[in-house]
């Protein structure tokens, strides 16, 4: 039998390139929130894939970008810190006609590290084959890239090939986590993220970027297959609070009903979800608020 393999794998790339979508497909379960809004992922989150050949610990990171506030600084540091002490890096890009300054910045950072890097070209379903080959050719001269794998994270095309390549790239090692552990975050964290995902997808303009969610209570009812959950949605402006609540509470009701369905699927039980909205003025610029909301250690 082949020797068991294991390793830590950082997943990096520009904002909105599909890192969380790819990991959800690899894991076969929705563990990470997704949105068409940039910078959806704010924390470095470990997803643990285990089979009889290997254990792969994927670290989903915030998209690398130029920070605009203290939250952005935290996200950028979280992304950069994860690539310095891992066994392998998955670098996600989109198929484009040239390498832009954002990707060039990341390429330069990765070259300095000396860590093996697999380039994953995502969203290949958007281009004809001839154009895709041209996009791949742009990266062929970067000799520190150990492989270039085209995939569609949304449709699953090429993902099996990628997983095989990851296993081949890892060294023999022990199993670090139990078989049934698939993420290193608490249920409260995931529930809060599922609520924030619905706010991101339903709200427009600047409002969703200034939203944070805190689960204040999760209590199972005695003798009932039901959990009472209370959560607060924080925003930065009084005007944003009105938008989140909506006319007659319509938007908050929509966020709650859509969140509840996903939370019930995740927890495998019925949920009674109560949401409140509170203003924390400019919380993305304040160290105390960032720490209180879980963005600083």
Spatial distance between the Cα atoms of 262 and 272, rounded to a whole number of angstroms: 13
Question: Per-residue pLDDT tens for 201-260?
Answer: 898 776 767 888 999 999 999 877 899 999 999 998 999 999 999 999 999 999 999 999
Residues 171 and 7: beta-carbon distance below 8 Å: yes
Residues of the chain with CATH 3.30.300.20: 187-292
User: What pLDDT sits at residue 20?
Assistant: 86
Residues of the chain with CATH 3.40.50.300: 5-169
CATH topology of domain 5-169: Rossmann fold (3.40.50)
Torsion angle defined by CA atoms of residues 160, 166, 172 and 177, in that order, rounded to the nearest 10 degrees: -80
Alpha helices (runs of H) in the chain, residue ranges in sequence order: 19-27, 70-82, 101-113, 129-137, 159-169, 187-202, 238-245, 250-267, 287-292
Q: What CA–CA distances, in Å, run from 36 to 21, 190, 203, 267? A: 11, 19, 12, 25
Q: What confidence tier does 142 reach under pLDDT thresholds 50, 70, 90?
A: very high
- At CB < 8 A and 24+ separation, what contacts does 68-71 make? 69/284, 69/285, 70/284, 70/285, 70/286, 70/287, 70/290, 71/42, 71/284, 71/285, 71/290, 71/295
Which of 173, 116, 174, 179 lies closest to 142, judged by CA? Answer: 116
Percentage with pLDDT > 70 across the chain:
86
Question: Per-residue pLDDT tens for 61-95?
Answer: 765 545 555 665 655 665 566 677 789 999 999 99
CATH topology of domain 187-292: GMP Synthetase; Chain A, domain 3 (3.30.300)
């Amino acid at each position: 039998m082949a020797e068991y393999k294991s390793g830590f794998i950082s997943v990096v790339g520009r904002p909105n390139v599909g890192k969380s979508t790819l990991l959800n497909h690899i894991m076969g379960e929705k563990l990470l929130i997704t949105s068409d809004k940039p910078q959806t992922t704010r924390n470095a989150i470990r997803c643990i894939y285990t089979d009889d050949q290997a254990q792969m610990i994927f670290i989903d990171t915030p998209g690398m970008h130029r920070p605009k506030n203290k939250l952005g600084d935290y996200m950028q540091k979280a992304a950069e810190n994860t690539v310095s002490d891992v066994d392998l890096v998955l670098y996600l890009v989109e198929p484009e006609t040239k390498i832009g300054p954002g990707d060039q910045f990341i390429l330069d950072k990765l070259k300095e590290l000396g860590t093996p890097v697999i380039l994953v070209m995502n969203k290949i379903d958007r281009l004809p084959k001839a154009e895709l080959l041209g996009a791949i050719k742009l990266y062929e001269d970067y000799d520190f890239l150990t492989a270039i794998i085209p995939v569609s994270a949304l449709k699953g095309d090429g993902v099996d090939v990628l997983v095989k390549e990851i296993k081949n790239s890892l060294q023999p090692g022990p199993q670090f986590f139990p078989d049934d552990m698939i993420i290193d975050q608490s249920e409260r964290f995931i529930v809060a993220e599922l609520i924030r995902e619905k706010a991101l997808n339903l709200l427009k303009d600047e409002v969703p970027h200034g939203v944070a969610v805190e689960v204040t209570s999760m209590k199972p009812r005695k003798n009932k297959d039901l959990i009472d959950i209370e959560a607060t949605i924080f925003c930065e402006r009084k005007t944003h609070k009105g938008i989140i609540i909506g006319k007659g509470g319509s938007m908050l009701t929509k966020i709650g009903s859509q969140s509840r369905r996903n939370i019930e699927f995740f927890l495998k039980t019925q949920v009674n979800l109560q949401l409140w909205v509170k203003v924390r003025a400019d919380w993305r610029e304040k160290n105390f608020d960032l720490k209180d909301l879980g963005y600083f250690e």
